[in-house]
Structure 1
Amino acid sequence: MKLLLTLGLALVTAFSAYAEKPLDLKAFAQQYYKTMSATQAPNAGTKELEAYLALLTDDIGNQHIPYQPDDSRTPDGKKQMRKGMSFYLGAHTLFESTLLNTFVFNDTGFAIRYKNFAKGIHPQSKQPIEYTSTMMEVIEIENGKVAMIRKYHE
């Protein structure tokens, strides 16, 4: 009986040692913002893009009203984001961003509100671009990764 009790306690201890700590969404939101902003920098490349994509699920959903009204999650969501974001890598000659607010919603999501200023050359039209925007991103989390991004302009 003592042997079974000892074995049972050993198993419980072993499994609890491997149990995941809950995700600190406040810290994750800060990491997400920093990593996402790095993809917009003038010198951004594949390294910055892949660091950002590593935070996302493979079937990530991305909605950016009014440009992307569809919020469907598809098996190749991350692949589609990689393709879309690669097109714009390095388009900015100047990029500044300030995190304004972070809101955490229990263990399922967070929202970040930030202000951007950017200048650059549009990769398709080759026309100069310059804009200032205040954005809110509402992020849904699944299994420690970003599963849905919803972007809104102020």
Structure 2
Amino acid sequence: MFKWITLSLSFFFSTLVLANSTEVKLEHFAKNYFDLWVATQAPDASKEDIENYLALLTQDIGHQHLPYDSDDIRQPDGKENMRKGMLYYLGGHTEHSATLISITVGYNVVIIKYDTVSKGIHPQTKTEVRFSYDTTEVLEIENGKVSVIRKYSE
């Protein structure tokens, strides 16, 4: 009986260590994701910054960011569509800052909350735009890459 309890406790603690290790890896991934995203928003952002960020995404990434992207369905050209959109706005910010508030991880999901403030010139209208909002991003992770992004902002 004591041997069984010892084995059960041993299994329990080894499972906890595995879960914590996975959570630590996801938290590190989330911090890296956030830092790479912030780099794409900087006034001096480059195509290389965008490619570094896109390297974290699956080819068929699903992306929902209301009201701009209304569904999160994964498409074979999802990453290419994001690249086109990000390149369109590249260099549009004259000011940008983002503050990480929290990261929550569990299973294959990462939740990142942050505040952001930006100012810039809209590439189409050529008018100055200013934004200040709180954002929650929910990322689904598949094989070490982001497969779905859902952005919620106020």
Shorter-chain TM-score above 0.5 = yes
Counterpart residue number, 1:98: 99
Aligned mates of 1:45, 1:125 — CA distance in 2: 22
Runs of 4+ in structure 1 off by over 4 angstroms are none
Aligned mates of 2:72, 2:30 — CA distance in 1: 21
The alpha carbon displacement at 1:72 in A equals 1.1
Q: Which amino acid aligns with 2:97?
A: E
**Pairs within 5 Å for 1:59-78:** 59-78=60-79
Question: 1:85 aligns to what SS in structure 2?
Answer: helix
Aligned mates of 2:119, 2:68 — CA distance in 1: 20
Counterpart residue number, 1:118: 118
Counterpart residue number, 2:134: 134
Aligned mates of 1:138, 1:73 — CA distance in 2: 15
The alpha carbon displacement at 1:67 in A equals 2.2
TM-score in terms of structure 1 length: 0.83
Q: Which amino acid aligns with 1:112?
A: I
The alpha carbon displacement at 1:109 in A equals 1.3
Q: Aligned-residue CA RMSD in angstroms?
A: 1.3
Q: Percent identity?
A: 50
Aligned mates of 1:118, 1:22 — CA distance in 2: 34
Greater displacement, 21-30 / 122-131: 21-30
Larger Rg computed on CA atoms: 1
The alpha carbon displacement at 1:22 in A equals 5.3
Counterpart residue number, 2:7: none
Q: Summarize deviations over 1:53-107 as a string: whole Å, max 9, x none.
A: 000000000001222111111111000000011000000000011001111012x
**Pairs within 5 Å for 1:3-82:** 24-82=25-83
Aligned mates of 2:116, 2:142 — CA distance in 1: 27
The alpha carbon displacement at 1:120 in A equals 0.7
Question: 1:49 aligns to what SS in structure 2?
Answer: helix
Q: Which amino acid aligns with 1:132?
A: S
Structure 1 residue runs without a partner (length 5+) = 1-20
Aligned mates of 1:27, 1:44 — CA distance in 2: 23
Whichever structure has more helix as a proportion of its residues is 2
Structure 2 residue runs without a partner (length 5+) = 1-20
Question: 2:41 aligns to what SS in structure 1?
Answer: coil
